[in-house]
Chains A and B, each alone.
Chain A
């Protein structure tokens, strides 16, 4: 015996963890013993195949160390807003006949309603097609190259369509020097990202490119670059979670730019419209939190031996993930339906399957993972602030670390669960909690609700199998 801890125990107050039969915990409570009841479940849902995969030994690499490295890179990330430019100018590999979309790779034939609508709108916006039919023909012709935003250092909410001429935010991770790009949020209602492509939608996109983006760019140049990590951490303490609630973030952003906007040599009407536009859209900040998360997590990609999930995303047809230690390989499964609350006049009948790159926020440890910081939207997770806290608690179980900057007031400023470990996800059978908006299944109608979505287990199981194939004994 190296040490005798039994006699130490005899001197302490008993503090018990109860894994299994609940009555044992209840009895101990009767006797005034401190006890924590666990919610134990068979590992990997009791699947023999997965359990045997989980028990394989990892050879040659130190997975724990690799995951710590991934976590440390994510924590070190310093996402910074440096500029506004256009997709064609700054997005690597962007071409005039290329159209970026949310989620894993997807052909036109397999695209869901809202994705098709956004593609049609994108082609009209670029002047490549005059109307719906022409756009559909063009999209099906093979002359248009469809690629995921994620393949081009970009992210886009919902359909996530980015075309050559669109203005984009330019984010840079100051620690590692990598960049990420995202369009400017168009607002609510009928918008391109929900598959709307009417004249009004195109007109707004043109206004964004011609007025909004240039004015914001000038204001940003006057202000100087903005430390996004700082803004996001403030927003979390003001009741945002950075995905489904961005009211605080949007307000903070306006506060940063307002003094500079009013100093610009621009028409007052225009400046006022810019301010009102941002003010009227609580999600304006989403298109900043997303690329902030993207450039943060990208720094943790391609670490040999790491089982950390560095991409989660959906395109309305598939849900896909990528694993740090498995490079660019996608693991996909059919996108799920969102369990949510609906805007008046809509129901689950109207909903399209889960869509958008916005789950990059959860991948970086905010969004659903920071649910406990957003009491205003607890209706999505069961109704009470306690439910929201439990939601975040569950995410600690599948995370490698806790964020040192993003903190949750209601959890005594505990850092948000950060850096998702694929192995833990499969072992504990706890899937990442994802907050999301719901698009109408028909193109052109827009947002019908918001809620939670459970990613399909299959892509995590497939990824684990591939991981063990590469690294296991």
Chain B
């Protein structure tokens, strides 16, 4: 018989006028929750939404009622007084570590843009990652003051995006975003981006991880990037934005003497916008490569080539950049080697094991795999599906062949993106491993600035356990991964690869090849 003694201790600290960025707080929140004996913890600013949340989970205090969005709240619930005090202490500790670091530098950090510009009058670009509610206004101010803008924030309205891009157009400035996570300007990686070689390939991309995968593939092929301009995902997709930034970006690349090859990638664009982009590319008279993710490949025409996937786009661009011919091939690994891998990965699979589970952190990488499987095997469930009958009813529960983008808003409410915090995917792996029908995990490992310092290592234990569980059931779990990254990225790509291989994962050179290999395996076991 088990006695369930419900003792709950709740404590709240409200610190007035201590603003912290929400992503930073989410990371602290996560660490506090990990403390043994802690049932729930909320470390957040006192916004209305957060106060409501606290109320719902049972926290209340007079201090809380008076809290404003500028006040920091640390609320902890745990099994004993001691544990809760320890958690509060460690939350404070984590917060002050940041503060001390800030103090060491001691350089004044301006609150307002005007003063920032007085301090650095020759600044030419601003990265804005403040909450969406305020981001548009700040971006507008920046454009009015002549700054190029990279708007990382999401939750910016379409109306605001249109206004901002019109303003940028008028002023001849970059307006990358909203929701632009990746760019490479003058060889410098901005936000979520990899350290790639400089070169003569200029890119305009309406997709962050697409741009990362593309630039890393180009880097692997020995070519380099002149500029990688991000536009934000809605730029081409929404008729009313009409590819404003995409067109400006192409225009700038066409005039840029360092850019000899232009690549454009985007999710399927609105038709009218696609036409404009094609015309604009033709006008550049530079060799151009286009990849509209998910659209059938067009026939090449004039200076335009169409790529069928991200890796092919990289291959075509690299060949053009070196004045070589591009020769298409599905795998860069010899066919025999591929066959041997397929053989190895399928010999001990139990008859029940039929399905693929693609667990992605990069949205475009998930799309690329989903589109391939959709075409080749049909019926892939996903939170990104455009076919209504294949949209996952509950994104947290897989069904048949499933490919999920764990970076989707539905997974990131109140927690950081899985590229920053791998625990979202780790939890999902733990769940998927209990499904005896799963034959294969398909994964992306995204390196570069912005990403977790050890994304492979962070999920390694769970992958190992998953393989073990399949074995215990008398089957075999195949794990296929690719790494989006370069040798110059701080995570050490080679080590990441070794870690994965040490537990029997197959690491392929690109997301497309990983998906193709997974396809072969699934076709074989089905």
Taking a contact as CB atoms under 8 Å apart, the answer to whether A24 and B122 are in contact is no
Taking a contact as CB atoms under 8 Å apart, the answer to whether A20 and B123 are in contact is no
Number of A-B contacts (CB under 8 A): 183
- Chain B, residue nearest A48 (CB): B48
Question: Known contacts being A22-B24, A46-B68, is A3 close to B171, with CB within 8 Å?
Answer: yes
Give the residue among A27, A33, A39, A47 with the most B Cβ atoms within 10 A.
Answer: A27
User: A17-B127, A45-B70, A428-B112 provided; 17 other pairs, C-beta below 8 A?
Assistant: A4-B252, A5-B173, A9-B185, A17-B116, A17-B123, A19-B113, A19-B129, A31-B188, A36-B110, A38-B116, A39-B109, A42-B19, A42-B70, A46-B47, A384-B106, A393-B110, A393-B115
Please indicate the chain A residues that have their CB under 8 angstroms from the CB of B371 in the complex. none
Taking a contact as CB atoms under 8 Å apart, the answer to whether B113 and A17 are in contact is yes
A6 to B186, CA, bound (A): 11
A-B contact pairs, 15 of them (CB 8 A): A2-B172, A9-B124, A9-B148, A15-B123, A16-B126, A24-B129, A24-B191, A27-B449, A28-B188, A28-B190, A30-B490, A33-B188, A397-B114, A427-B112, A430-B111
Taking a contact as CB atoms under 8 Å apart, the answer to whether B111 and A40 are in contact is yes
Please indicate the chain B residues that have their CB under 8 angstroms from the CB of A12 in the complex. 124, 186
The 3 nearest A-B residue pairs measured at CB = A46-B69, A20-B129, A39-B109
Q: Which of B130-138, B295-303, B426-434 contacts A (4 or more CB under 8 A)?
A: B130-138
Task: Report the minimal beta-carbon distance from A113 to chain B, rounded to whole angstroms.
Answer: 27
Taking a contact as CB atoms under 8 Å apart, the answer to whether B68 and A34 are in contact is no
Give the residue among B47, B169, B186, B258 with the most A Cβ atoms within 10 A.
Answer: B186
Taking a contact as CB atoms under 8 Å apart, the answer to whether B110 and A2 are in contact is no
Q: Let me know if B153 is at the binding interface, CB within 8 A.
A: yes
Residues 427-444 of A, flagged 1 when their CB comes within 8 A of B and 0 if not, give: 111100000000000000
Please indicate the chain A residues that have their CB under 8 angstroms from the CB of B287 in the complex. none
Question: Known contacts being A5-B171, A31-B195, A397-B111, is A14 close to B129, with CB within 8 Å?
Answer: no
- Chain A, residue nearest B119 (CB): A36
Task: Report the minimal beta-carbon distance from A307 to chain B, rounded to whole angstroms.
Answer: 15
A27 to B152, CA, bound (A): 15
Please indicate the chain A residues that have their CB under 8 angstroms from the CB of B195 in the complex. 31
Please indicate the chain A residues that have their CB under 8 angstroms from the CB of B113 in the complex. 17, 19, 38
Q: Let me know if A394 is at the binding interface, CB within 8 A.
A: yes
Q: Let me know if B35 is at the binding interface, CB within 8 A.
A: no
Please indicate the chain B residues that have their CB under 8 angstroms from the CB of A384 in the complex. 106
Question: Known contacts being A6-B248, A10-B252, is A42 close to B125, with CB within 8 Å?
Answer: no
Taking a contact as CB atoms under 8 Å apart, the answer to whether B69 and A42 are in contact is yes
Taking a contact as CB atoms under 8 Å apart, the answer to whether A19 and B172 are in contact is no
A7 to B119, CA, bound (A): 24
Question: Known contacts being A16-B123, A20-B21, is A10 close to B227, with CB within 8 Å?
Answer: yes
A68 to B449, CA, bound (A): 44
Q: Let me know if B147 is at the binding interface, CB within 8 A.
A: yes
Residues 229-261 of B, flagged 1 when their CB comes within 8 A of A and 0 if not, give: 000000000000000000011011001101000
Task: Report the minimal beta-carbon distance from B425 to chain A, rounded to whole angstroms.
Answer: 20
Taking a contact as CB atoms under 8 Å apart, the answer to whether B110 and A38 are in contact is yes
Taking a contact as CB atoms under 8 Å apart, the answer to whether B130 and A19 are in contact is yes
Task: Report the minimal beta-carbon distance from B67 to chain A, rounded to whole angstroms.
Answer: 11
Give the residue among A12, A36, A390 with the most B Cβ atoms within 10 A.
Answer: A36
Q: Let me know if B120 is at the binding interface, CB within 8 A.
A: yes
Taking a contact as CB atoms under 8 Å apart, the answer to whether B125 and A20 are in contact is no
Question: Known contacts being A20-B127, A24-B129, is A15 close to B120, with CB within 8 Å?
Answer: yes
Interface positions, chain A 94-115, Cβ under 8 Å from B, are none
Taking a contact as CB atoms under 8 Å apart, the answer to whether A397 and B115 are in contact is yes
Q: Let me know if B23 is at the binding interface, CB within 8 A.
A: yes
| Option from B110, B114, B127, B146 in Cβ contact (under 8 Å) with A5 | B146
Tier of interface size on chain A: 35 or more
Please indicate the chain B residues that have their CB under 8 angstroms from the CB of A22 in the complex. 21, 24
Taking a contact as CB atoms under 8 Å apart, the answer to whether A46 and B24 are in contact is no
Q: Let me know if B189 is at the binding interface, CB within 8 A.
A: yes
- Chain B, residue nearest A389 (CB): B108
Taking a contact as CB atoms under 8 Å apart, the answer to whether B172 and A6 are in contact is yes
Residues 53-84 of B, flagged 1 when their CB comes within 8 A of A and 0 if not, give: 00000000000000011100000000000000
Taking a contact as CB atoms under 8 Å apart, the answer to whether A37 and B172 are in contact is no
Task: Report the minimal beta-carbon distance from A362 to chain B, rounded to whole angstroms.
Answer: 18
Please indicate the chain B residues that have their CB under 8 angstroms from the CB of A211 in the complex. none
Residues 378-395 of A, flagged 1 when their CB comes within 8 A of B and 0 if not, give: 000000101101100110
Please indicate the chain A residues that have their CB under 8 angstroms from the CB of B138 in the complex. 19, 40
Taking a contact as CB atoms under 8 Å apart, the answer to whether A4 and B251 are in contact is yes
Task: Report the minimal beta-carbon distance from A246 to chain B, rounded to whole angstroms.
Answer: 26
Taking a contact as CB atoms under 8 Å apart, the answer to whether B125 and A14 are in contact is yes
A386 to B103, CA, bound (A): 10
Please indicate the chain A residues that have their CB under 8 angstroms from the CB of B340 in the complex. none
Residues 348-387 of B, flagged 1 when their CB comes within 8 A of A and 0 if not, give: 0000000000000000000000000000000000000000
A101 to B21, CA, bound (A): 45
Interface positions, chain B 470-493, Cβ under 8 Å from A, are 490
A470 to B69, CA, bound (A): 28
Q: Let me know if A396 is at the binding interface, CB within 8 A.
A: yes
- Chain B, residue nearest A3 (CB): B172
Interface positions, chain B 275-317, Cβ under 8 Å from A, are none
Please indicate the chain A residues that have their CB under 8 angstroms from the CB of B127 in the complex. 16-20, 24
Q: Let me know if B336 is at the binding interface, CB within 8 A.
A: no
Q: Let me know if B118 is at the binding interface, CB within 8 A.
A: yes
A434 to B174, CA, bound (A): 41
Please indicate the chain B residues that have their CB under 8 angstroms from the CB of A24 in the complex. 127, 129, 152, 190-191, 449-450
Give the residue among B109, B130, B170, B189 with the most A Cβ atoms within 10 A.
Answer: B109
A45 to B17, CA, bound (A): 8
Task: Report the minimal beta-carbon distance from A453 to chain B, rounded to whole angstroms.
Answer: 15
A42 to B153, CA, bound (A): 14
| Option from A18, A20, A31, A428 in Cβ contact (under 8 Å) with B111 | A428
Taking a contact as CB atoms under 8 Å apart, the answer to whether B23 and A21 are in contact is yes
Q: Let me know if B404 is at the binding interface, CB within 8 A.
A: no
Q: Let me know if B128 is at the binding interface, CB within 8 A.
A: yes
Interface positions, chain B 310-343, Cβ under 8 Å from A, are none
- Chain B, residue nearest A395 (CB): B115
Residues 384-424 of A, flagged 1 when their CB comes within 8 A of B and 0 if not, give: 10110110011011000000000000000000000000001
Interface positions, chain B 155-188, Cβ under 8 Å from A, are 169-174, 185-186, 188
Give the residue among A42, A424, A429 with the most B Cβ atoms within 10 A.
Answer: A42
Taking a contact as CB atoms under 8 Å apart, the answer to whether A36 and B255 are in contact is no
Q: Let me know if A270 is at the binding interface, CB within 8 A.
A: no
Q: Let me know if A41 is at the binding interface, CB within 8 A.
A: yes
Please indicate the chain A residues that have their CB under 8 angstroms from the CB of B153 in the complex. 20
Taking a contact as CB atoms under 8 Å apart, the answer to whether B120 and A17 are in contact is yes
Task: Report the minimal beta-carbon distance from B173 to chain A, rounded to whole angstroms.
Answer: 5
Q: Let me know if A52 is at the binding interface, CB within 8 A.
A: no
Taking a contact as CB atoms under 8 Å apart, the answer to whether B171 and A397 are in contact is no
Task: Report the minimal beta-carbon distance from A17 to chain B, rounded to whole angstroms.
Answer: 4
| Option from B24, B47, B111, B248 in Cβ contact (under 8 Å) with A38 | B111
Please indicate the chain A residues that have their CB under 8 angstroms from the CB of B123 in the complex. 15-17, 36
Residues 179-214 of B, flagged 1 when their CB comes within 8 A of A and 0 if not, give: 000000110111100010000000000000000000
- Chain A, residue nearest B256 (CB): A10
Please indicate the chain B residues that have their CB under 8 angstroms from the CB of A4 in the complex. 172, 251-252, 255
Task: Report the minimal beta-carbon distance from A416 to chain B, rounded to whole angstroms.
Answer: 14
Please indicate the chain B residues that have their CB under 8 angstroms from the CB of A133 in the complex. none
Please indicate the chain B residues that have their CB under 8 angstroms from the CB of A18 in the complex. 126-127, 129
Please indicate the chain B residues that have their CB under 8 angstroms from the CB of A23 in the complex. 450
A378 to B23, CA, bound (A): 34
A219 to B152, CA, bound (A): 67
Please indicate the chain B residues that have their CB under 8 angstroms from the CB of A33 in the complex. 188
Taking a contact as CB atoms under 8 Å apart, the answer to whether A45 and B126 are in contact is no
Please indicate the chain A residues that have their CB under 8 angstroms from the CB of B24 in the complex. 21-22
Task: Report the minimal beta-carbon distance from B163 to chain A, rounded to whole angstroms.
Answer: 14
Please indicate the chain A residues that have their CB under 8 angstroms from the CB of B174 in the complex. 6, 9
Task: Report the minimal beta-carbon distance from B411 to chain A, rounded to whole angstroms.
Answer: 19
Task: Report the minimal beta-carbon distance from B526 to chain A, rounded to whole angstroms.
Answer: 43
Q: Let me know if A269 is at the binding interface, CB within 8 A.
A: no
A397 to B118, CA, bound (A): 10
